[in-house]
Amino acid sequence: MDRHLMIDRGACAGHGLCYGAAPEIVDCDDQGDPVVVADPLPESLLDRAGSLVRGCPERALTLRVSEGHN
């Protein structure tokens, strides 16, 4: 299974809570916008990513799980 953290840039208000809370998953670009740096997400970061999704005040983060390709 591949796990990906998705950012809805249209919904994101740039609070920075995600990259402040988990820089090993999300960082910011030169404009201060969040950028996923752990893609695909390793299983070891899945709980932490779930916390980011639940903590996003704009609901701009989602987790997507898909079948891996061999």
* pLDDT value of residue 66: 87
Domain assignment of residue 19, given as a range: 2-66
pLDDT tens for each residue of 18-41: 999 999 999 999 998 999 999 999
Mean pLDDT for 54-65 is 96
DSSP state, residue 1: -
Count of structural domains within the chain: 1
Q: How far is CA 56 from the centre of its chain?
A: 10
The sign of the CA dihedral 63, 58, 26, 18 is negative
- The pLDDT tens digits for 39-59 are 999 999 999 999 999 999 999
| pTM listed for this prediction | 0.89
Domain CATH code at residue 52: 3.30.70.20
Residue 67 has pLDDT above 90, yes or no: no
The DSSP element (H or E) to which 53 belongs, if any, is helix 46-55
